[in-house]
A and B are shown apart, each in its own frame.
Chain A
Amino acid sequence: MTRGEFRTLMTGLAFTSPWILGFLIFTLYPVAASIYYSFCDYDVLSRPVWIGTLNYHDMLTDAVFWKSLKNTFYYALVSLPLGLILSLLVAVLLNNSVVGRPAFRTFFFLPSLVPAVALAMLWLWIFNGEFGILNYAMNWAWTKIGVFAAWVSAFFSDAPLHWPKPHFPNWLAEEQWVMPAIIMTSLWGIGGTVVIYLAALQDVPRELYESADIDGASTWTKLRHITVPMISPVIYFNLIMGIIGALQVFSGPFIMFGGSGPNRSALFYAIYIYQNAFEYNQMGYACAMAWVLFLIILALTWLATRATRKHVYYAGE
């Protein structure tokens, strides 16, 4: 190594030092320690006790662990595709040269700015069983449809239409409605994804659509064969980020239910890790669970990459 190279190395290291320091203190050491703790029984107050793979073993028989995993997958499997499709649709709509596009974009984007705590409060109020605006709106819409249906049916029959009066769910108190409610709140925050899509859509060459128009392609065909392939890297990026995000959901449900919800229906994986670590002081078990989460994320990312590899189009390749 010449003197010049050495100097460059030193300067480089000096500039990079904040990251190197952070890497050593807040990544390398914690990762190593986390692996060690995951093989220990550790309650913070006394020293860790080595127990081998028992923590991992325990997960197999821990019914609550499976419940939390199931909840998290339910959430990810529904909210992720729904969110991706919905935000793509909004972006495509906005990408038409509409008047007042910045305003519309802002409207869709604003909710994604709302802090998790305020978001949780707001939706607690909206889902409220007694005075919730959601049930009121649903009831209102249902009655209006009923009036319309009665009007239509009067043309065909003299008998008055029997319009059922459904019992609207008490969203946050009934086990089976908790997850749909949480998914709804997550869909409200798709604004960020919309903006990303929109930026990507603007990079799609206009000529492609124009030549498709000449061929007489329908809107759907254009969406299916031009738009989606052209922005596939962005869709892929959003998918991966979505997987990572969905598996780590914590604040919203934690605040809304102060823990786990009716019959643990809102117990997400990350919440269970938190409970083990800071409520039950089972730090070792929490670490083991975190590693399993990491493995799941890696596996899913790998799967997603494999599944979409053929369909992701990179310009310039």
Chain B
Amino acid sequence: MKQFFSRLAIYILLITGSAIFLVPLFWMMSTALKPIDQTMAMPPTWIPFRLYAQLDGERVSVKTGETLSAPAVVVVIKETGQKRIVAPDQVVKGRLVTRDKSGEQIKLPVTVVKEIPASKQEPWIRVTPEEVMAAIQAGKGDTSLVSNWDVVPQNSLVRERALRWDNFGKAIKALGVYEFTPRELANNWLGIVPGAWRDNLASSLYEKMSPKLKRIFSLNFTAYLKNTLILCVLTVLGTVLSSALAAYGFARIPWRGRNKAFVIALATMMIPFPVIMVPVYCLFRWAGWIGTLRPLWVGSFCAGAFNVFLLRQFFMTIPKDLSDAARIDGCSEWRIFWQIILPLSKPALMVVGLFQFMGTWNDFLGPLIYLTNQKDFTLALGLQFYQSQQGGTEWHYLMAASTLVVLPIIVLFFFTQKTFIEGISMTGIKG
């Protein structure tokens, strides 16, 4: 019995705990799929929805306005065509008694369009078709459009789940667009082509592009994504190759002074980044690399101490006999490394590569320091830039863009879960 209760307690704790941990993520997705008015509503809605009302016998998706809990009438002011909701006693003999802005009493001739028998128990609510609302917000509202609303009983509204997937597209657009010209194509995408051919190639490619493709290329998001991917590929490649090489040197070749060097390598792990931040910046400045992606990946081709350490530990576990046998057969060290050790170390290399990928994808400080041109930004920096420019009202776009940054990592995690968990345990325990 006691055991049953303790197990129950464990499950309750685990379930509440993981709920608390997951709610923020859920909230992010949920906000990303809402229209703006649902992001700014209290109490909040967890599942985005759409409201439908019967207008002139048609089922229309609507946005709601004020609620009426007392009888009222809808009138149209004859002079202006303006539609208003007023209290029944304000209309006297077809005239609306009201005050103008300076407080003078005036009487306006009106036609009564609708009488609303609203009450506290059965409130009515003002509804505007969603399309009309969108047109008004886009600044296209003329008088006829502005009067295109109705009042219906609140309980006649039908609420249906509706996820606004188009928010993602809009959020990507909100990150900004620039004018995509052959010159942009040449400068940002064809850097690999020798200078003499670049412009010609760019203009001929540009002409072949469909308008849709051009639109995609003109998005800042595309440039951000491209930069992030370039950096991820390069840093992963650089880190894995260089750390494996160095780790092999430390683990399997008994050269003189290697233990001392390895101690130095371990000691460098203690140095916090801010200490070397300024001189490294000055170094790249001296090389003229500020404002390019180079400072962000060149360093990864010089093995970092932590990864060298991890791989060294792994290489040490591979039996010595294997390489000795190969040596007797006349294999060079390089071949032993390349053909025997590396294939055996795939799990460890995966861990190093995966963590480097994550590190580059998430990196914020590096791009912040080295990148000056918006077209060179990474996703992380681009998102932060958008947020700092926006100030923060369009939360649905911000959350949609954030989701786009989070999602690849989460997908990656689900595909490589085992490596991930093993890698983390490895760094934690063996460190």
Contacts and interface: CB of A to CB of B under 8 A. Distances in A.
Tell me, yes or no, whether A and B come into direct contact in the complex with CB atoms closer than 8 A. yes
A18 interface: yes
Interface string B284-306: 01000000000000010111110
B42 A118 contact: no
A23 B265 contact: yes
Contacts, number: 282
B286 to A, nearest CB: 11
B42 A117 contact: no
Contact of A37 (B14, B278, B402): B278
Given A118-B383, A188-B24, A19 B428 contact: no
Interface string B231-275: 000000000011101101110011111100100110010111111
Nearest to B399: A125
A27 B431 CA distance: 21
Interface stretch (B108-116, B183-191, B342-350, B359-367): B359-367
A112 to B, nearest CB: 9
A291 B369 CA distance: 20
Contact of B278 (A1, A23, A238, A287): A287
Given A19-B303, A34-B276, A131-B42, A196 B429 contact: yes
Interface in B1-42: 6-7, 10-11, 13-14, 17-18, 21-25, 27-28, 31, 39-42
A273 interface: yes
B25 A111 contact: yes
B264 A110 contact: no
A46 to B, nearest CB: 13
Contacts of A93: 10, 13-14, 17
Contact of A18 (B242, B283, B402): B242
B246 A18 contact: yes
B380 A117 contact: yes
A16 B249 contact: yes
Given A107-B22, A199-B428, A277 B246 contact: no
A290 B277 contact: yes
B406 A115 contact: yes
B387 interface: yes
Closest 3 CB pairs of A and B: A22-B302, A12-B255, A15-B249
Contacts of A286: 274, 277-278
Interface in B345-388: 358, 361-362, 364-365, 369, 380-381, 383-384, 387-388
Interface residues of B, number: 96
Contact of B369 (A26, A44, A278): A278
A33 interface: yes
Identify which of A105, A118, A198 gathers the most chain B CB atoms within 10 Å of its CB. A118
Interface string A121-139: 1111110101101001000
Name the prevailing secondary structure of the B interface residues: helix
A42 B25 CA distance: 44
A131 B255 contact: no
Interface stretch (B130-138, B142-150, B316-324, B417-425): B417-425
A19 B311 CA distance: 13
Interface stretch (A146-154, A221-229, A243-251): A243-251
Contacts of B424: 192, 195-196, 199
17 contacts: A8-B255, A29-B279, A31-B276, A34-B279, A44-B282, A104-B14, A105-B421, A117-B364, A117-B381, A117-B384, A118-B405, A125-B395, A131-B41, A136-B42, A247-B272, A286-B277, A287-B279
A121 B413 contact: no
A116 interface: yes
Interface stretch (A50-58, A70-78, A159-167, A293-301): A293-301
A15 B299 contact: no
Given A26-B280, A111-B24, 13 more contacts: A11-B253, A11-B333, A15-B249, A18-B302, A27-B276, A93-B17, A114-B406, A121-B398, A126-B24, A131-B39, A188-B21, A283-B278, A297-B272
Nearest to B308: A19
Nearest to B46: A133
Given A116-B380, A244-B272, A16 B261 contact: yes
B44 interface: yes
Interface of A: 1, 5, 8-9, 11-23, 25-27, 29-31, 33-34, 37, 44, 90, 93-94, 96, 98, 104-111, 113-118, 120-126, 128, 130-131, 133, 136, 188, 191-193, 195-200, 203, 219, 234, 237-238, 241, 244, 247-248, 250-251, 254-255, 258, 270, 273-274, 277-278, 283, 286-287, 289-291, 293-294, 297-298, 301
B405 A117 contact: yes
A140 to B, nearest CB: 8
Contact of B249 (A13, A29, A105): A13
Contacts of A16: 245-246, 249-250, 258, 261
A30 B280 contact: yes
A277 B280 CA distance: 12
B97 to A, nearest CB: 37
